[in-house]
Amino acid sequence: MRTKAFASGVAFLSLMLCVRAPGWADQAPDQGPWTFDPILRLFGADLGVGYRGLALLPNQQTTFWVYAGGGYEGEHYYRDQYGALLSPGQIGSGSGPLASADPTFNRIEAAWRLGIEQGFVWNPRTSTNLLEAFFFYRGRYDLNQPAAGALLTLPSLAVLPDRDSSILNTLQFGLGYDDMLTDKHRTRNGTSAEMTAEWGPPWFFNTVRGDSDFVRFNGTFTWFLPLYDAAPERRLNLFSVYLGEYFSVDYAIGLNGTPVPLFIRQTFGGRTQNTGLGAQVRGVDKGAYDTNLKAVNNLEVRANLLAIPMPDFVAPFVPYVVPGALAYFDCGFYDQVGEPGISSASQGFVAATGAGVYVEVPGLGTLLAYMEYRLDGQNAASDRLRVFVLEFGMQF
């Protein structure tokens, strides 16, 4: 069912490349020349500045983007000294050789992007491009700071080109479809889809720190469906419920025997690259299952509760906040296909379920607290249930 939904979305996106919607073709976007895309992190931030004062196609929106930012991130690595994925109970307990090894490490990072988004069909319902193509140059610098005894410092991993630090430059091309709308009650409705290809060749300064030679392909499909609104006529939300689903598949191919960089293995591709299979499947070790091939499906039902107006001195900046609750089911697939130096490549499925509460501050972000339970087995430290997990930002 979910795979068919993704396939249908891709087919529809391909169709729209050739046929412009007759009712929307001549409606030009009416927006200011500048737009901004702030991305907050726990310790750090990125800022995108877009310019729309020059249209490359008549009556269509063109955006030229510059992004820059950085942060100090807590990261994880869940492989042994031979590059094999960790098995349940291998760390954190028992008497094995890795029982006391630490999967966590800190990373100082800087990231930048330069690119263009070109619309082909305007969507008056959402005031965005319904269909667009984009091209980006992406760059990043990572400096890993593992403590003594961390898994990332194991002696045999000295052959990992980006174990200590890396400079990564890539070129990315993609197509996007957007018919997603968030209404006044913070309920989302509609679909979006994206397909990308990304290339990190060695001649693009990718051997200065680390060693990169890869291509990556990604497809993503998201949909939301409102289920109930207790008072649709109210300005602020009383009680509303909606359903959402996110699907993504990602395949990175190392060329000429070069391993795929750690950052690429630990994330899904696309314009937003911040989580991998471990993390996108809530309840699974963050950073785990960092394989060349991975897929994920998140299914979630969200209930927005009574919106809370802010005091007068705060209202000009934050007029109200929306508390809520959610329940989810996540599942994913991983395969080490194409990874060099892996004597016994593994593959499998992971799954988890749970619930959470959240507070959304419109325009700024969402703070969530989860209870997570892994369904398919134990994590690397033998745990399955996590009672209080804080996150910033909705899962999708």
Q: pLDDT of the chain along its 396 residues, tens only? A: 444 443 444 343 443 333 333 334 446 566 789 999 988 887 899 999 999 999 999 999 999 999 999 999 999 999 988 888 999 989 987 667 888 899 999 999 999 999 999 999 999 999 999 999 999 999 999 999 999 889 999 887 766 889 999 999 999 999 999 999 999 999 999 999 999 999 999 999 999 999 999 999 999 999 999 999 999 999 999 999 999 999 999 999 999 989 999 999 999 999 998 899 999 999 999 999 999 999 999 999 999 999 999 999 988 889 999 999 999 999 999 999 988 877 667 899 999 999 999 999 998 889 999 999 999 999 999 999 999 999 989 999
Nearest-angstrom CA–CA distance, 88 and 336: 18
DSSP track, 327-353: EEEEEEEEE-TT-TT-TT--EEEEEEE
Nearest-angstrom CA–CA distance, 10 and 24: 20
362-391 CB burial, b ≥16 within 10 A, e <16: eeeebebebbbebbeeebbbebeebeeeeb
The predicted pLDDT at position 32 comes to 84
Q: Identify the residue whose tokens are 């069912």.
A: 1
The predicted pLDDT at position 89 comes to 87
Give the type of residue at 311.
P
The predicted pLDDT at position 18 comes to 37
Specify the pTM: 0.88
Domains, the chain, with CATH or none:
2-392 (2.40.160)
The predicted pLDDT at position 97 comes to 84
Closest by alpha carbon to 187, among 40, 281, 305, 299? 305
Nearest-angstrom CA–CA distance, 392 and 42: 7
180 φ, ψ (degrees, to nearest 5): -105, 130
Coil, helix or strand at residue 234: coil
- Is residue 184 within 8 Å of 232, Cβ to Cβ? no
Give the ranges where 174-332 is alpha helix by DSSP (H): 262-265, 277-280
